[in-house]
């Protein structure tokens, strides 16, 4: 089942007198449960595409439909609400809330959604166990390694049971062991919970794990390979 | 959760938060302490003015206060006083004869207001008898005793048992005089009052001024409860349309304004302190917002709406302000309560305060309403100081903010 449908997507920046097409006519469908990597050199438009997919940036033209919702037709406040309910984010530099513990960071979005305490706690413990951080619930981010922090970020992204997770260079700041560990966890969650993951990455290890690899260059898709 | 994050955020940079909290603490300590000090000072002046000098209500012949003519009397003064004493709201009534006169010692002389009183009745309407620090209150001398103020005794260079001569114009218009002996010297906080008012017995002054027994120039009324002031004044005015009924607010309006001026001064002072602290708080919160661009972007990305981001920063500012404010207010109240018993002695720094009727020993007064207003002002400062930094945070685009290094 298609959960993301992108048609004729353009993002153009007017830099002085030169027009820069960061995303230049992208057509793309993402199916439910995919484990997709978007790759390409710096400036190829990966992050811009991901930002538009996440409703953080508006396209110049074209449309993005997520299930039955056209992101372009949502108001700013509706977009925030849509993001909270439907999209999980994992960032390159973890971006956890430093004053909250691992558990509280995972719970945070559910708090914003107004979920009951019991449900929040059960889901948090389930996710922290799934990412291998049982026993570290009460640690603040400063007491966790980079890999552990990124695993908390993955748990946070999944907490609200989103339709898909956008991960922007999630392994860029991790060592090999942490990267391997994180990718295994995400692959496992993808298999078990049928969660759709979309990565933007330079990292070959992520590419190797991905089931589908989309290559961008100058804002255009130049290849789209599915692994058997 | 938002308030919890806001509170914890304050302690992310303990040094920076500590500095601004200390500044707010000092500011609020100064604000509260000066407020209780001022309140105490004004209250003392007010109380001295009412309890020692004017009492609550005075009744005169309507013509008397125009030029203090000795002949403008209340004819049945004693009768009226007895009738008024039956009023349940009235605590005490004292009829007086009051004449502008000259008092002279062997050394020098000066103009004074001489008041002929019935000592026992006068005790019910003013606290003058409690301020007699030398001698006694019309007890030790049987013939023509006089009680004078300390300042006047210094001016006339007289002491207890000294003889003074009172010269006045009697009811027939003749100049007359009488010798009085000092039986008591009173010492209030108001030097001017001490210097210009002397007290003798009613019958002595009536005899000297050729006024018949039972008349009065003024009838002084003291109430059980100050809250009955306006209603009793109005009722007496209706009951005695031929007489001039005035309460202390009308007799000495400057006393009535004291309380309001004291409150106004307090609030203006606190507002100025909070205003200057407010700029410091805005500066601190701007630094906070600029430091957390990436985090604010992340919060917006994961679904924290603008209102919630705004509220989080507002709570953080309010909690920061309230922390310093609460400590400062508590310290200010603590210092005020500690000094309430013994007072603050200003006589070394402020000689001459008593010349204007202000005590040189000030007993701070803590008033609940004032504390509530100050707390509200502190919270208001927190809210106002948060507006600009929080608004700035809302202008960030989450996609750009997340990529900020």
- A vs B, Cβ pairs < 8 A, gives 61
Q: pLDDT band for position A165 (50/70/90)? A: very high
Residue B353 confidence (pLDDT) above 70: no
Q: Can you give the pLDDT at residue B261?
A: 82
User: 3-state DSSP call for residue B166?
Assistant: strand
Phi, psi of B252 (to 5 degrees): -130, 75
* Residue in chain B lying closest to A56 (CA): B399
pLDDT at B351: 59
| Residue A139 DSSP one-character state | -
Give the count of beta carbons closer than 10 Å to the beta carbon of residue A8: 11
**pLDDT average, residue stretch B210-232:** 91
Choose the closest CB to A84 out of B8, B294, B302. Answer: B302
Least confident among A5-9, A179-183, B298-302: A179-183
Contact across the interface for B12 and A98, Cβ inside 8 Å: yes
Work out the percent of chain B whose per-residue pLDDT is above 90: 59
Judge whether B405 and B290 are in contact, CB under 8 Å.
no
**Local confidence band at B350 (pLDDT 50, 70, 90 cut-offs):** low
How do strand B132-135 and strand B175-186 relate by DSSP bridges?
A: antiparallel
- Model confidence pLDDT, tens digit, residues A48-66: 999 999 988 889 999 999 9
- Residue B93: count of CB within 10 angstroms of its CB: 24
CB B134 within 8 A of CB B142: no
CA distance B275 to B374: 13
CA A158 to chain centroid, in Å, comes to 10
Cα separation, B14 vs B106, in Å, equals: 74
Helix axes B14-47 and B368-394, enclosed angle (nearest 10): 150
Instruction: Name the residue ranges covered by the structural domains of chain A.
Output: 2-226
Average pLDDT, chain B: 89
Q: Average of pLDDT values for B123-139?
A: 90
Question: Would you state the pLDDT for residue B94?
Answer: 95
Percent of chain A with pLDDT over 90: 39
By C-alpha distance, the chain A residue nearest B399 is A56
Residue B308 to residue A81, Cβ atoms within 8 A: no
According to the model, what pLDDT value does residue B356 have? 63
Give the pLDDT score at B16: 92
Name the minimum distance, in Å, from the CA of A143 to any CA of chain B.
Answer: 15
C-alpha B120/C-alpha B108 separation (Å) is 31
What is the rounded average pLDDT of the residues B222-245? 92
Lowest mean pLDDT among A94-103, A107-116, A179-188, B146-155: A179-188
Q: What is the ipTM metric for this complex?
A: 0.88
Per-residue confidence (pLDDT) for residue B352, from 0 to 100: 65
**Distance of alpha carbon A102 from alpha carbon A147, whole angstroms:** 13
pTM for this entry: 0.75
Angstrom distances, CA of residue B134 to CA of B128, B138, B150: 13, 12, 9
Instruction: Provide the pLDDT for residue A177.
Output: 84
Q: What are phi and psi of B392, to 5 degrees?
A: -60, -40
* A2-226 under CATH 3.40.50.1970, yes or no: no
Q: Which residues of B touch A22 (CB under 8 A)?
A: none
Nearest to B305 among A77, A95, A108 (CB): A77
Minimal CA separation from A209 to chain B, in Å:
26
pLDDT for B49 equals: 82
Partners of residue A98 in chain B, C-beta under 8 Å: 12, 295
Asked if the C-beta of B305 comes within 8 angstroms of chain A's C-beta atoms, the answer is yes
Dump the DSSP string for B298-331: HHHHTT--HHHHHHHHHHHHHHHHHHHHHHHHHH
Cα-Cα end-to-end distance for chain A: 18
Which residues of chain A make contact with B291, given a CB cutoff of 8 A?
none
Q: What is the DSSP letter of B74?
A: B
- Is there a contact between A112 and B9 if contact means CB atoms under 8 Å apart? no
**For residue B145, is pLDDT > 70?**
yes
Q: With a CB-CB cutoff of 8 Å, which residues 169-228 of chain A face chain B?
A: none
Residues 382-401 of B with CB under 8 A from A: 397-399
**In the prediction, which pLDDT does B259 show?**
75
Q: What is the pLDDT of residue A76?
A: 84
Q: Which of residues 78-107 of A touch B (CB under 8 A)?
A: 80-81, 83-85, 89, 91, 93, 95, 97-100, 104
């Amino acid at each position: 089942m298609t959960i993301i449908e992108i048609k004729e997507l353009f993002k153009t920046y007017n830099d002085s007198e030169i027009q820069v097409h960061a995303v230049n006519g992208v057509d793309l469908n993402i199916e439910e449960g995919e484990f997709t990597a978007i790759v390409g050199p710096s400036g190829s438009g990966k992050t811009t595409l991901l930002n538009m997919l996440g409703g953080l940036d508006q396209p110049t033209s074209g449309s993005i439909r997520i299930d039955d919702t056209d992101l372009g037709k949502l108001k700013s406040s509706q977009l925030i609400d849509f993001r909270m309910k439907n999209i999980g984010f994992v960032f390159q530099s973890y971006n956890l809330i430093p004053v909250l513990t691992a558990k509280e960071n995972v719970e945070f979005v559910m708090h914003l959604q107004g979920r009951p305490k019991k449900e929040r706690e059960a889901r948090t413990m389930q996710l922290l166990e799934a990412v291998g951080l049982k026993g570290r619930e009460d640690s603040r981010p400063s007491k966790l390694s980079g890999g552990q922090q990124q695993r908390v970020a993955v748990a946070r992204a999944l907490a609200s049971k989103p339709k898909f997770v956008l991960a922007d260079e999630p392994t860029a700041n991790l060592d090999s062991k942490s990267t391997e560990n994180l990718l295994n966890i995400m692959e496992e969650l993808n298999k078990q919970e049928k969660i759709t993951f979309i990565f933007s990455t330079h990292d070959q290890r992520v590419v190797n794990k991905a089931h589908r690899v989309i290559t961008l260059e100058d804002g255009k898709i130049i290849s789209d390979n599915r692994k058997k | 959760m938002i308030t919890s994050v806001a509170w914890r955020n304050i302690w992310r940079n303990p040094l920076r938060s500590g500095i601004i909290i200390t500044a707010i603490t000092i500011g609020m300590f100064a604000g509260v302490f000066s407020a209780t000090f001022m309140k105490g000072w004004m209250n003392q002046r007010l109380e001295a003015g009412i309890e020692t000098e004017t009492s609550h209500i005075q009744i005169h012949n309507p013509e008397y206060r125009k030029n203090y003519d000795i002949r403008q009397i209340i004819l049945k003064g004693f009768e009226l006083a007895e009738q008024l004493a039956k009023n349940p709201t009235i605590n005490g009534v004292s009829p007086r004869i009051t004449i502008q006169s000259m008092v002279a010692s062997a050394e020098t002389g000066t103009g004074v207001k001489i008041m002929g009183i019935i000592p026992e009745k006068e005790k019910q309407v003013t606290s003058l008898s409690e301020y007699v620090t030398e001698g006694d209150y019309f007890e030790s001398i049987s013939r023509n005793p006089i009680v004078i103020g300390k300042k006047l005794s210094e001016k006339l260079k007289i002491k207890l048992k000294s003889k003074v001569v009172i010269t006045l114009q009697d009811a027939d218009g003749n100049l007359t005089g009488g010798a009085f002996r000092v039986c008591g010297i009173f010492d209030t906080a108001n030097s001017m009052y001490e210097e210009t008012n002397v007290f003798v017995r009613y019958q002595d002054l009536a005899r000297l001024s050729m006024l018949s027994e039972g008349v009065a120039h003024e009838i002084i009324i003291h109430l059980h409860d100050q809250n009955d002031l306006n209603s009793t004044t109005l009722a007496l005015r209706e009951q005695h349309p031929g007489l001039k009924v005035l309460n202390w607010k009308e007799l000495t309006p400057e006393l009535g304004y004291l309380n309001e001026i004291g409150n106004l001064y307090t609030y203006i002072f606190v507002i100025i302190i909070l205003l200057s602290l407010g700029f410091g708080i805005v500066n601190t919160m701007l630094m906070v917002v600029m430091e957390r661009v990436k985090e604010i972007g992340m919060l917006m990305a994961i679904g924290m709406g603008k209102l919630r981001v705004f509220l989080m920063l507002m709570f953080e500012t309010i909690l920061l302000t309230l922390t310093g404010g609460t400590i400062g207010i508590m310290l200010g109240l603590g210092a005020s309560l500690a000094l309430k018993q013994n007072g603050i002695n200003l006589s070394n720094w402020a000689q001459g305060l008593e010349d204007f009727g202000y005590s040189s020993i000030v007993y701070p007064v803590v008033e609940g309403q004032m504390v509530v207003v100050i707390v509200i002002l502190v919270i208001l400062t927190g809210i106002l100081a948060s507006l600009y930094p929080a608004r700035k945070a809302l202008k960030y685009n989450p996609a750009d903010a997340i990529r900020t290094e």
